[in-house]
Amino acid sequence: MGPLLEVYESNWPSHQPSNYLNLLFFLMSEKHNSSSFWKPYLDILPSDYDHLPINSPEALKELEGMPIFSEIRSYNASLHQRYFNLNKTVFSFFT
């Protein structure tokens, strides 16, 4: 997991990885470690998963006009931006 944290810290020196990112980095390194206890389990998980509770345009459209609408849009945009940044630097570590 060390190399992942080094890549993260070199790109975002002022940001400490969250517990979520620490778990993500651990699971990513375990998935690519052939002797990992967790590898068989990680290999059977779906490769695509839409984890955002409200990510489809149709679901979001139903919330227009409600007070939570702008918060959900902001949260989704923030998650997409974080994913883009991580994908560009850290996730490419495994490709």
Domain limits at 20? 2-94
Domain count, the chain: 1
Better-predicted residue by pLDDT, 69 or 56 = 69
**Separation of alpha carbons 4 and 72, rounded Å:** 30
Question: pLDDT tens, 31-64?
Answer: 888 999 999 999 998 777 666 556 677 878 888 8
Residue 94's pLDDT band (cuts 50, 70, 90): low
Question: pLDDT tens, 8-30?
Answer: 677 666 666 677 777 877 888 88
Measured CA to CA in angstroms, residue 29 lies from 8, 18, 42, 66, 73 at distances of: 14, 17, 11, 41, 31
Angle between helices 2-11 and 69-89 (to 10 degrees): 110
**Separation of alpha carbons 80 and 88, rounded Å:** 12
